[in-house]
Structure 1
Amino acid sequence: MEALNQIPLTIAAAIRGLFTDPQSIWADLTMTIIGLIAVIVIIVLAALVLILVERKIAGWASLRPGPNRLGPRGWFQTIADALKLIGKEDITPAGADRFLFKVAPMIVFALPLMTLAVIPYGKGMAPIDLDLGVIYFLAMSSISTIAFLIAGWASNNKFSLIGGLRAVAQMISYEIPLIFSLLGVVMITQSFNLSNIVESQSYVPFIFLQPLAFVIYVIASIAEVNRAPFDLVEADQEILAGPMTEYTGLRWGLFFLGEYGNMTAVCALATTMFLGGWQGPAFLPGWVWFWLKTGVLIFFMMWVRWTFPRIKIDQLMHFAWKVLLPLSLLNIVLTGLGIYIYQLVIGG
């Protein structure tokens, strides 16, 4: 099993061995590029698989068969949908800001790539190991708010603009309790490095030390990726498809690639911060444990989407500012108090 756990590291060492100096800047640059390509593959494959899985879960939750015609048990349905999107005409509205209209979906798709690049998928398997990994992840993920606003404004459509403004209100509101929920873990570990945070969970995952923070993080992350019951940004009964209303073909598809990429990213961060990352019993490789934990969280998000009805915009904002924010502040206070008592006991 240790051999399976070391497969990615062995491949990386073999590639570095092709250079005269394995620690040279060119070797580091090559490994960074390969890591980013691997992340792109993860995002694309995750989107292709998760779209089909979500349809299966939707069928299961609503007592319908789901995709079951194209290929064995419908497994080729997502491929057919991707080919359909590629073949559709790319339309730009006459009154739209053409540059911003086209660049917005690219930003939405690129952000999961930038965030997943700092996640440690196993021991020594972070594509880019940053000392400020937590801050970098949060900073990059927050830019998606600007991308949705750009898409809504550039479309020259009142429904798209409303969707863009809702994105700003919703995502900024839920970013605050989400960030505060992670502060407890940072206070315990005294580190922003994601690999160090995983190493600190060798004996007990932080979900047991920070259960309230974990619940707050999961709820806020569902709102951050605009999934039901918090999908007010694209509430189709009210504002058609929000910022995506005027988009067609592959550009429309990039928004949903970004959504599934962001869902994978926030679940990967939850696995890293609260569930011990790659830590697990030795009968499976660490990177397998990482993706199993992430997969469970993704399944939970899908289950929530097809179980709860969409809430109203006033309920959405009320829940963020009057429920999650006070609870996240309470968690910080309790964490600080717990650390203080622990230091007194150890010091005594």
Structure 2
Amino acid sequence: MNIALNITKTIQDWLVSFMPESVSSIAAMVLVALMYLVIFAVAGLYLVLLERRVAAWFQLRIGPNRVGPLGLFQTMADALKLVSKELTGTVKADKFLYNLAPYFVIISSLMALAIFPFTQGFQAFDINIGIFFLIAISSIGVIGILLGGWSSNNKFALIGAMRSGVQTISYELSIGLSLLTMVLLTGTLQLSQIVEIQKNGWLIVQGHIPALIAFMIYMIAGTAETNRAPFDMVEAESELGAGFHTEYSGMKFAYFFLAEFINMFIIAAIATTIFFGAWLSPFGITQSIPWLGVFWFLGKTLILVFLMMWFRWTFPRLRVDQLLTLEWKYLLPINLVNIVVMAIIVWLNITINL
């Protein structure tokens, strides 16, 4: 049995002791899902708080400091406010699609979280096509954005949704090719096996210069994929109000808002897993004390999240033509050359070993 499945298997073995096996398997899935929902909610709330703190630091402001000690409960107060707000919408909106759209965004983010190896044995769902699964699931979120913008019957929301479609389709190519570069190096799509390979050194080191280039392109494209500045044409406040979610309020708006921050965490978590050894420490500590791996995984991920926030508060917003030029004329050609270089390096290494 793969060690990455221990969390689900352990819960199921415990449930089998006092309920039928057929019921215990379903109950185990429900418990694991609830656990990940809690992780999802808490991570989203405190990433919002981190964003505000980082913004305040960059702009020499104080930031949240009133609600709770050091302002730690500020985002929880904001969440309660959004839950209590009235759900409004336009009269001419397509009600079914308008109400359905936020769930596409939130469910795709939640599904992606399930296959990350937070530490040894703490992975709810480990499959042999892990990277392919992540790319496929992340593509579903844009459907929610397109549906929300179109069904709102608002021209600003529609423009934002159309921009999202163009941007996501474009930058997904660079994300996919960057990850494919590392798949060439590892020879597997399974995340647990990729982590296992990195016990001898992180892939960003093993892969030499092509791995470093792949990482840089991945972070740029990942920032664009999450619709964050300087690639936030989808929500350009100075032009489109709130963009694709202009007509949303209350908890439905919160779903879009929360999904943006969780997607940022997911982009950073993928980079942590593929390039920086996931839960593995460079000192070998986590292999002897597995629970420490959670802190290493979260620490690396939060550093990359901070990097993405640094982008937002440093660079001005790009125009649509600049955004597409960056992808099609620069990132994509560099990525194609880089993947060929990585293939040559892998082939030469195999040849020398033979």
Task: Give the shorter-chain TM-score range.
Answer: over 0.9
Tell me, in whole angstroms, the C-alpha distance in 2 between the residues paired with 1:253 and 1:138: 24
Residue 280 of structure 2 corresponds to 279
Q: After superposition, what is the alpha-carbon deviation per residue over 1:84-115, rounded to whole angstroms, capped at 9, x for unaligned?
A: 11111101210100010011111111111111
Which digits, 9 at most, give the CA deviation of each residue in 1:153-198, with x for residues without a partner?
Answer: 0000000000000000001100001100001111122111111111
Residue of structure 1 in register with 2:252 after alignment = 251
Aligned partners of 2:104 and 2:143 also within 8 Å: no
- Map of 1:61 onto structure 2: 58
> 1:306 is matched with which residue?
313
**Does the alignment pair 1:325 with 2:332?**
yes
Residue 340 of structure 1 pairs with residue 331 of structure 2: no
The equivalent residue for 2:189 is 192
Deviation at 1:26, TM superposition (A): 4.5
Rounded to whole Å, the distance in 1 between the matches of 2:14 and 2:45 is 34
Asked if 2 retains the 8 angstrom alpha-carbon contact of 1:107 and 1:144, the reply is yes
Question: What is the DSSP-based 3-state SS (H/G/I as helix, E as strand, rest coil) of the residue aligned with 1:64?
Answer: coil
Matched, 1:108 2:105: yes
Hey, what's the Cα distance between the residues in 1 that align with 2:17 and 2:327? 55
The superposition leaves residues 253-292 of structure 1 with CA deviations (integer Å, 9 ceiling, x where unpaired) of: 1101111111111111111111101111344512221111
Counterpart pick for 1:127 among 108, 124, 139: 124
Q: Deviations over 1:186-224 (max 9, x none)?
A: 112211111111111111111121111111111111001
Distance 2:60 2:224 in 1: 26
1:3 corresponds to which residue?
none
| Equivalent of 1:42 in 39, 46, 49 | 39
Residue 327 of structure 1 and its aligned partner are, at CA, apart by: 1.1
> How far is 1:31 from its partner?
3.1
Tell me the number of residue pairs that the alignment of Structure 1 and Structure 2 aligns: 341
Letter in 1 for 2:75: T
Residues 15-24 or 40-49, more deviating: 15-24
Pick closer, same or farther for the CA change 1:331–1:35 going to 2, 3 Å: farther
Aligned to 2:133: 136
Asked if the contact 2:114–2:123 (Cα under 8 Å) also holds between the matched residues in 1, the reply is yes
Residue identity in the other structure for 1:323: Y
* In 2: Cα distance, 1:14 partner to 1:151 partner: 38
1:147 maps onto 2:148 in alignment: no
Query: C-alpha distance in 1, partners of 2:36/2:54?
Result: 25
What is the percentage of aligned positions where both structures have the same residue?
A: 43
Amino acid at match of 2:212: P
Output the CA distance in 2 between the equivalents of 1:32 and 1:49.
26
What's the TM-score, normalizing by structure 2?
0.91
Task: Tell me if structure 1 keeps the 8 A contact 2:177–2:335.
Answer: yes
TM-score by length of 1: 0.93
Gaps of 5+ in 1: 1-5
Instruction: Name the CA distance, whole Å, in 1 between partners of 2:32 and 2:353.
Output: 42
Q: Which secondary structure state, in structure 2, belongs to the residue aligned with residue 201 of structure 1?
A: helix
Of 17-26 and 274-283, deviating more is: 17-26
Conserved? CA contact 1:32–1:128, under 8 Å: no
Residue 338 and residue 28 in structure 1: after superposition, are their counterparts in 2 closer, same or farther (change >3 A)?
A: farther
When residues 11 and 92 of structure 1 are mapped into structure 2, their CA distance, relative to the original with a 3 A threshold, is closer
Whole-angstrom CA distance in 2 between matches of 1:337 and 1:163: 41
Pair 1:302–1:23, CA change in 2 (3 A): farther
Distance in 2 between residues matched to 1:85 and 1:330, nearest whole Å: 47
- Report how far residue 9 of structure 1 moved: 5.4
Cα distance in 2, alignment partners of residues 203 and 22 from structure 1: 43
Q: CA deviation at 1:140?
A: 0.7
User: Does the residue aligned with 2:121 lie in a helix, a strand or coil?
Assistant: coil
Report the equivalent of 1:315.
Answer: 322
Residues 289-336 of structure 1 show CA distances to partners (whole Å, capped at 9, x for unaligned) of 111111111111112111111111111000011111011111110011
